[in-house]
Amino acid sequence: MSSNRFDLGNTMIVCSCNVVSDRQVIDAVSASQGMRTPSEVYRCLGCAPQCGRCARTIRALMDQVQNHNCGECAEDCAVAGLTGLVAAE
C-alpha 51/C-alpha 53 separation (Å) is 6
Chain segment 45-78, per-residue pLDDT in tens: 999 999 999 999 999 999 988 887 555 555 555 5
- Helix (H/G/I), strand (E/B), else coil: 33: coil
- Per the CB < 8 A criterion, the answer to whether 24 and 41 are in contact is no
Q: Which residues pair with 36 in a beta bridge?
A: none
- Per the CB < 8 A criterion, the answer to whether 53 and 42 are in contact is no
Q: What is the CATH number of domain 13-83?
A: 1.10.10
C-alpha 1/C-alpha 69 separation (Å) is 27
What type of residue sits at position 80? Answer: A
Q: Check residues 78 and 11 and name the one with the higher pLDDT.
A: 11
